[in-house]
Homo-oligomer: A and B are copies of this chain.
Amino acid sequence: MTLPEVIPAEALDSTDLLGLWPILSEDERVAAFRLLDRDEAYRFLRALSTRDEAKLLLSLPASELDSSVRLLAPDDAADVIQETQEELRPVLMGAMDENSRREVKALLAYAEDAAGGLMNPRYARLRPDMTVDEAVAYLRKQSRESVETIYSQFVIDEAQHLIGVVSFRDLFTAPRDAKVRDIMRTEVLSVRDDQDQESVSRLFAKHNLMAIPVVDAENRIKGVVTFDDIVDVVQEEATEDIHKFGGTESLDAPYMESALVPMLRKRAGWLAALFLGELLTATAMAFFEEEIARAVVLALFVPLIISSGGNSGSQASTLVIRAMALGEVKLRDWWRVMQRELLTGFLLGSMLGTIGFFRIVIWQFVRPIYGEHYLLVALTVFTSLIGVVMFGTLAGSLLPFLLRALRFDPASASAPFVATLVDVTGLVIYFSVASLLMAGTLL
């Protein structure tokens, strides 16, 4: 498919091209991008994903690289550089003007997931002694030169300290000769440049922000984080958490674009670790080998028992981890969560135990495979299920607290991790209950 079949080249704009992008070949992408005028190219690059931006820029002829790279805001340029292989970075850095290169280098010095790594170092700054009319005239000039955020204006003193904020609406509704000092809000929410992006995104959600200023330890303004960066952060953090839940390291690239070997490496690590944990089940089972030999019927319910513990544990850990990520549950709540989950585990375990009990008793009438002591077997399954589900719920809900207290990411208490932990304990609970209840009869 060539471009002209779809849309006349002279009418192509950034929105069309974004729609066509996924179905175009590399060459067609470059050709189509070069058809856009400066304004449309700017809009287009803003909307393109960082990965695609990096690929596109590096495919452009050298003569056009400079002008395209200069369309990028410094924070986007820094993201593109980070996405680029080490050896190709100088090409992109070389295409920037002196000023941008300095800004980008400063941004690259921040951790990728810190507020400083998200912020745009260009923003509209006002002086407190400007009048509203002067401020508007100044902003009118600024907005032509692509200062990204003209929606919040920060008021700073001579030493770059942040002293207030003025919104467009404030400027609009104030008398024209009022001073900025008199209409600015002085209670300004701001974040530190080394603050984690997840806590920044929580602040955005909590206060419905559009932009937040980033300051250093001395309250000097360094840049601004805007809502469009935050939508990406929220997606990214959710993806990371979801991948951890599934017991895999997060991929750095979209699934279909990840090369096989790095993906294998990320999955193999967790899988091997879980496998080593599960090897303990073989050890536990060997410990009860005699019991199994004497009452083979016990072996039949092993998968049922341990999976019930795993499932209830995975439920509990999922609920607690997500609640922690959203800030609904704090470290100090562990005691209340534990009480709650103990009761929940008891009730859920009793429910599953009852189902299991009747399954065995009823089955015995249909096909008597559980022998004369089938009631004892059913009772063992009933009791074990209560114990195993309670342990699963407890382990699943408390593990995230433990991980957080030890300063690990609570999301690592993934479903598979909890299941592995509960499997080994579940076996011990099951065979201990059996030994108690069946001593003298089956065992």
Contacts and interface: CB of A to CB of B under 8 A. Distances in A.
A312 B234 CA distance: 27
Interface in A310-338: 310-312, 314-315, 317-323, 326, 328-329, 333, 336-337
A199 interface: no
Contacts of A347: 264
A274 interface: yes
B255 A319 contact: yes
A169 interface: yes
Nearest to A209: B228
A202 to B, nearest CB: 9
Contact of A351 (B234, B268, B301): B268
Contact of A415 (B16, B151, B235, B416): B416
Given A245-B246, A310-B419, A315-B267, A208 B228 contact: yes
B307 A271 contact: no
A314 B416 contact: yes
Q: Count this chain's copies in the assembly.
A: 2
Interface string A214-232: 0000000000000110111
B304 A282 contact: yes
Majority-rule SS of A interface residues = helix
A106 interface: no
A300 B307 contact: no
Contacts of A286: 300, 369
A173 interface: yes
Contacts of A303: 278, 281-282, 285, 302-303, 306, 423, 427
B234 A344 contact: no
A432 interface: no
A341 to B, nearest CB: 10
Nearest to A49: B206
A324 to B, nearest CB: 9
Interface stretch (A97-105, A288-296, A401-409): A288-296
A231 B246 contact: no
Nearest to A389: B271
Interface stretch (A27-35, A59-67, A136-144, A156-164): A136-144
A361 interface: no
A281 B304 contact: yes
Contact of A315 (B150, B172, B206, B270): B270
A419 B246 CA distance: 11
Contact of A278 (B308, B319, B348): B308
Interface string A108-144: 0000000000000000000000000000000110011
Contact of A256 (B299, B301, B336): B336
B315 A248 contact: yes
B272 A351 contact: yes
A374 interface: no
A404 to B, nearest CB: 15
Most chain B CB neighbours (cut-off 10 Å) among A144, A270, A297, A302? A302
Given A255-B329, A285-B299, A210 B235 contact: no
A13 interface: yes
A227 B151 CA distance: 13
Interface string A351-392: 110011001000000000100000000000000000000000
Nearest to A173: B144
Nearest to A351: B268
23 contacts: A15-B187, A139-B172, A143-B169, A151-B151, A204-B231, A208-B228, A227-B227, A235-B238, A235-B326, A239-B326, A245-B245, A247-B415, A255-B322, A255-B328, A255-B329, A260-B344, A263-B344, A270-B311, A272-B355, A279-B355, A282-B304, A289-B299, A314-B415
